[in-house]
Amino acid sequence: MIFLSFDIEEFDAPSEYGKPLPFDEQIALSAQGTLAVLKVLAQHQVAATFFCTAHFAQQQPALIRRIAQEGHEVASHGFYHAAFAPVHLKASKDVLEAITGQPVHGFRMARMAAVDAREISTAGYCYNASLNPTFIPGRYNHFRAPRTPFIQDGLLQLPASVTPFLRIPLFWLAMHNLPFCIYKTLCRVAAKRDHYLNIYFHPWEFINLYPKEKFGLPHYIARHSGQEMLNRLEKLICYLKKYHFTFGLLYQFQASKI
């Protein structure tokens, strides 16, 4: 099963590189990228999971409702992208459920940071998708964590996918920077071996992230952004469908394990 997910948030990445954007522009650019992603998913009849911050959802409630109405899963990405407190776990869930009229089952912490599984469970979630089981200096040190789904303190953990042997991460930066023929092959190999492929992106990647003077983002983030990234997403979907993989929602995996 292939699980595509997208983290919808205030587009605050430029602030990390000294180019903070006005809040309205952060929201507008994330919304623009989300609409572009929804178009590709609709064209190929693929459902995905969208992890949304409550703060973004409050600014774009119609867009969040549209995501749910088109058959995608809306899950929580916390209340704010740049700040977290345990109280935000339930608060963000409540906001998203009020907007969509549907239950919110999953959580992913901003920047895949660690969160106590018991606190996530207490807030009412069924699964956590905040683990990238690899080693990236300064970001992740989870090389010994399980690569595939497991239970921790009664909560289902759904790790982001990495390759079976060297644990090469298959997340968004890999699709930006690896030769695409290699990236899609690694995805196929991981999906075949694990019967599970969980890869994630951000809608703002699907807008043009150049010039650097505006966003300040390094080349390894901005590379192949915008239409090129949309093309890669579409080609990846077609490639995996050719090998008869099916696409699903993360909640569907979670529900099958209860």
Which pLDDT value is given to residue 255? 59
- Picking from 233, 211, 6, 251, the residue whose alpha carbon sits closest to that of residue 105 is 251
- Name residue, tokens 């890669």: 232
Strand order in the sheet with 2-8: 150-152, 155-157, 127-128, 106-107, 73-76, 49-52, 2-8, 197-201
Measured CA to CA, the distance from residue 180 to residue 56 in angstroms comes to 31
What is the overall mean pLDDT for the chain? Answer: 96
Check whether 257 has a pLDDT greater than 70.
Answer: no
pTM score of the predicted model: 0.96
Q: What residues does each domain of the chain span? A: 2-256
Q: Are 218 and 19 in contact (CB under 8 A)?
A: no
Which pLDDT value is given to residue 136? 87
Which tokens in the block code for residue 71?
């058959």
Per-residue CA distances from 123 to 152, 158, 187, 208 (Å): 15, 17, 33, 37
Q: Under CATH, which number does the domain 2-256 receive?
A: 3.20.20.370
DSSP state of 160: P
* H helix runs in the chain, sequence order: 23-43, 54-59, 61-69, 87-100, 117-122, 172-177, 180-194, 212-215, 219-222, 227-242, 250-256
Q: What is the pLDDT of residues 194-242, one digit of tens each?
A: 999 999 999 999 999 998 899 999 999 999 999 999 999 999 999 999 9
Question: What is the three-class DSSP state of 97?
Answer: helix
DSSP state of 195: S
Encoded amino acid at 133, one letter:
P
Per-residue CA distances from 211 to 26, 31, 84, 205, 225 (Å): 16, 20, 31, 14, 11
Q: What is the pLDDT of residues 230-256, one digit of tens each?
A: 999 999 999 999 999 999 999 988 655
Which pLDDT value is given to residue 258? 43
